[in-house]
Amino acid sequence: MSYLKLSLAILVLALLAGCSGSGSKSSSRYSISQDRGPDKQVDLSKVADAVPRLEPRSRGGNKSPYEVWGKRYYVMPSSEGYRQQGTASWYGKKFHGHKTSNGEIYDMYGMSAAHKSLPLPSYVRVTNLDNNRSVVVRVNDRGPFHGSRLIDLSYAAAYKLNMLKKGTARVEVEAINPQGYSVSQLVTEAQPGLGAPVKEASQFAASGSTRQYIQVGAYSSWAAAQTVKTQLESLDKGLQVLIRKREGTNPVYRVQMGPVEKSSPMEEVFSALRSAGFADFRLINFP
C-alpha cells in the first residue's frame, strides 16, 4: 500500500470513529468505539426506579446556551410542567464509568438519562407508548444529539421499558416535581391496577394500640421499598425503619419509621423527611 493510500485509510478510520457513539464527547475518551450492553447477562429485574428528591442545580452541565456540532441548545430554567413525546434511545458500556455532563460517573445499571434541555438534575417519568411500561429516571447528562431523539436512557431504564432489542422506542417524558410528591404516589400511579396510595390511619384507629409509626410511603415492589428504607436509614434519626408487607393479589410494601412516643417532639424528623422529598408521610396506629 502506498503512503498516500495508507494516509487516506487512516483519515477515513478517524472520521468514522468521530461519528460513533452518543452525545458530543470525543470518541478518543472511550476504550470501545461502538456502544453496546454488558458482555454478560445481568439480572436487572430488581433495580428500583430513581427516587425523586429536592436537589440544587448541578455546578456542571447547566451552561446555557451551549453548542454541540455547530448547533446551539438552551437549558430550561425549570423542568416544571415539561411533558413531551418523542423517540428514546439508550447508551451503555461505551460510556459506563465515564463522567456525565454534570460531573457524576455514568452507571449503565442505574436509573438515569440524558436530555438536551432539562436542568441537571431533573426527575422524569418515561412511558413506552408501545407497551405502556413506565420508569422514573434522574436526568444527569446531556444528549442525545443524533437526529430528533428526545431522551437517552441508561441501559437499566431501557431494559425496564423493554426497548433494548429494538434500540429505540416511542415515549412520553413527563417531569416530576419532588416537592410535595411522594414516592408512594409515583409507584401507584405507574401501576394502574394498584389503586390509590395506601392510607391506613383509619384502618387501625380502633385497635386500641398506643404504638404509633410514621408511614412514609406504600410501594408496589419490594425493591422500591428497600431503596426508600436505605434512604431513610441514612437520615439517622434514631428510629427503626421497617418494611411491612400487605398480602393480596397486588401486594403492597409499607415503609414505616418507629415506634414513636406520642410525647416525643417529632418536628426535626418531619423536617428531615420533607427535605428528603417525602411530603406524603403520616402518623398511623399499628397493632
How much is the pLDDT for 198? 38
User: pTM (2 decimals)?
Assistant: 0.58
Kindly indicate the confidence band of residue 42, based on its pLDDT and cuts at 50, 70 and 90: confident
Q: Which overall architecture, per CATH, does domain 183-285 show?
A: 2-Layer Sandwich (3.30)
Range(s) within the chain of domains with CATH label 3.30.70.1070? 183-285
Task: Read off the C-alpha cell for 176.
Answer: 416530576
Q: Tell me how far apart the terminal alpha carbons of the chain are, to the nearest angstrom.
A: 84
Range 29-176 has CATH code 2.40.40.10:
yes
* Closest to 108 in 3D by CA, of 184, 32, 57: 32
How much is the pLDDT for 228? 83
Kindly indicate the confidence band of residue 79, based on its pLDDT and cuts at 50, 70 and 90: very high
Q: Which residues contact 137 (CB under 8 A, 6 or more apart)?
A: 49, 50, 111, 112, 113, 123, 124, 126, 153, 154, 157
DSSP codes, 176-245: E--TT--HHHHHHHHSGGG-SPP--TTTSTTS----EEEEEEEESSHHHHHHHHHHHHTT--S-EEEEEE
Range(s) within the chain of domains with CATH label 2.40.40.10? 29-176
Q: Does pLDDT of 252 surpass 70? A: yes
